[in-house]
Amino acid sequence: MRSMVSRFGSCSTFAPLATALVTALTGVMACGQAEGESVDELPPGIEQRVQALGGSELPNNFPFLNAAGSAATFSTAGAVDLSNPFHVPQGANGRSCESCHLPQTGWSVIPVEVELRFWLTQGKDPIFNLLDADSPTANVSTTLARYSAYSMLRKGLFRRGGNVPASAEYEIIAFDDPPRAGGSLTRFEAFRRPLATANFHIARNVGWHDQNTNGSGDVHAGLISQAAGNITGGQQGAPAAPEVVEAIVDYEESLAFAQQFVFGAGLLTACGARGGPEHLSEQEPVNARFDLFDAWIDLVPGSCTTVAADRKRAQIARGQELFNSPNPGGGSCRGCHNAANNGSNVNGALFDVGASRAEFREPRMPLYTVRNKATLEVRQTTDPGRAIRSGLWADMDRFKTPSLRGVSARAPYFHNGIADTLEDVVRHYEVALGFVFTRQQRADLVAFLEAL
Ligand code: HEC
Ligand code: HEC
């Protein structure tokens, strides 16, 4: 291995640490090129690593660590097939679906893993592509230039935009675009997290703009269009053969992803509980309360395993009931997240939870001032969500209600990543939507979310 001096010091010194981190997070292994040199050999993806270990599949329920414990995927095909075209680049730029939807990070990406990929490849992993730089005209000629050019991507945020439709009920009257993302008086550009590519067997709609299947329930058609669009868009490829797209979508539809183990509570299937990905794969898309942890309601400490573990289990069950129940502040979590034991919305409804409000804007986020053409009402938004596509004023800041399963694996949260932790999510609901929780209730609710 050649040696390299970077701001992180010598590469070889860090090799053992990198190997451990890499195995845990990415499956990527690369080290050694100096500033300005091109990366001649790109690091192998997780499928090559698994092949090197003698296979091309992840066994069902294979655990990946996260801050709350571990999460896993259960495939109805019997194992997670890492040789599916989902994991193979389909275009010219080296990206595959896996570049942005990794099984080890909740079928999304997380900032620490993107940062690691940056330093292992000096910002040349295919995920780093001008398409998703802070600005489409960024300078990406040196490692340091790339580091600053991809500051949003390193937070797990991808540049996504759209022109204001000609028929829109609103107009943009001012904008502030610190990263020069490309916003204008006729175009929005914003930064978004990748939604997870699992749990579609109980989904009702696809995509945050929901351009395909709002409420129609035709998730399969929505997934086909999303996959085909990514191959010609994000992967810069020629249109893929229909059977390739179909194979990708069948694969996505086979995957159930959920937390399986929580530190302090153990396996989420212990003593009658029904957590974990395997139970989830059998879940029907119905409007009903969460009942995963009913068996742990009022669990007598010491009756399942240890006193401490049973206390933690009872706490998770208390959190479940807080989620299911009306809140004194009005509304309930389940009011929107009403798909039983999943948390998406059974009608495919989108909502505004205030995440795009100017008051929650982070430093490099663009901000748009929009005006209703009929009423002249003015509001500000960092990302109008569904309204970009629909042009409707009522759709301002409305986003897909995502599945909440396996959330511990994919922080930060909301479409723009403004909540770093699940506790920040709960606090956001207190500030933005008027939910009221005591300290204890907040901790209980977080314990429940961590166990999803
Ligand atoms: C460069 C990163 C990137 C790549 C590559 C990528 N995606 Fe995505 N994906 C995203 C982002 C970001 C979003 C969410 C924002 C949006 O609406 O575009 C998303 C959203 C999705 C969704 C919507 C999920 C939901 O809950 O509605 C699906 C499905 C999806 N991607 C599938 C795929 C497939 C299949 C591929 C490969 C053919 C792929 N993606 C490749 C970044 C990527
Ligand atoms: C008005 C409908 C509504 C209510 C009420 C609501 N949510 Fe949400 N929730 C959403 C929508 C829509 C999103 C996606 C928002 C976005 O991406 O900006 C979301 C996102 C989330 C996320 C982040 C998921 C991710 O992957 O980023 C969590 C966690 C969550 N909600 C938990 C809760 C909890 C806990 C409550 C109750 C305290 C609650 N929600 C109340 C609609 C709602």
pLDDT digit string, tens, across residues 101-119: 999 999 999 999 999 999 9
**Does ligand 2 have an atom closer than 6 angstroms to the CB of 429?**
yes
**Does ligand 1 have an atom closer than 6 angstroms to the CB of 125?**
no
Residues 410-435: what's their mean pLDDT? Answer: 98
The per-residue pLDDT for 47 is: 59
Considering only CA atoms, which of 408, 196, 193, 450 is closest in space to residue 323? 450
Q: How confident is the model at residue 216 (pLDDT cuts 50, 70, 90)?
A: low
**Under 8 Å between Cβ of 268 and 319:** no
The per-residue pLDDT for 87 is: 97
The per-residue pLDDT for 205 is: 86
**CA 258 – CA 69 distance, rounded (Å):** 11
**Does ligand 2 have an atom closer than 6 angstroms to the CB of 413?**
yes
Residues 214-239: what's their mean pLDDT? Answer: 88
Residues 174-191: what's their mean pLDDT? Answer: 98
**Position with higher pLDDT, 35 vs 361:** 361
Considering only CA atoms, which of 412, 419, 442, 423 is closest in space to residue 106? 412
Determine the distance from the C-alpha atom of residue 21 to the mean position of all C-alpha atoms in its chain, rounded to a whole number. Answer: 20
Ligand showing the shortest atom-to-Cα distance for residue 444: 2
**Under 8 Å between Cβ of 423 and 319:** no
Question: Which residue has the CA at smallest separation from atom 9 of ligand 1?
Answer: 194
Residues 303-314: what's their mean pLDDT? Answer: 97
CA 452 vs CA 43, 207, 217, 287: distances in Å: 32, 21, 24, 17
The per-residue pLDDT for 208 is: 65
The per-residue pLDDT for 48 is: 60
Q: What percent of the chain has pLDDT over 70?
A: 86
The per-residue pLDDT for 18 is: 36
**CA 67 – CA 262 distance, rounded (Å):** 9
Residue 31 has pLDDT above 60, yes or no: no
**For ligand 2, mutation pick of 208, 209, 336 (most atoms within 8 Å of CB):** 336
The per-residue pLDDT for 154 is: 98
Considering only CA atoms, which of 405, 403, 425, 402 is closest in space to residue 260? 405
The per-residue pLDDT for 52 is: 59
**Under 8 Å between Cβ of 296 and 317:** yes
Q: How confident is the model at residue 33 (pLDDT cuts 50, 70, 90)?
A: very low
**Does ligand 1 have an atom closer than 6 angstroms to the CB of 227?**
yes
**Under 8 Å between Cβ of 352 and 429:** no
Supply the mean pLDDT for the chain: 89
The per-residue pLDDT for 32 is: 35
Residue 25 has pLDDT above 70, yes or no: no
Q: How confident is the model at residue 204 (pLDDT cuts 50, 70, 90)?
A: confident
The per-residue pLDDT for 207 is: 78
Q: What percent of the chain has pLDDT over 90?
A: 83
The atom of ligand 1 lying closest to the CA of 235 is 5
Ligand showing the shortest atom-to-Cα distance for residue 225: 1
**CA 127 – CA 234 distance, rounded (Å):** 9
**Position with higher pLDDT, 150 vs 209:** 150
Question: Which residue has the CA at smallest separation from atom 3 of ligand 1?
Answer: 100
The atom of ligand 1 lying closest to the CA of 400 is 27
Cα of 305 vs centre of ligand 1, distance in Å, is: 41
**Under 8 Å between Cβ of 158 and 191:** yes
Residues 57-67: what's their mean pLDDT? Answer: 96
Residues 337-350: what's their mean pLDDT? Answer: 95
Determine the distance from the C-alpha atom of residue 263 to the mean position of all C-alpha atoms in its chain, rounded to a whole number. Answer: 22
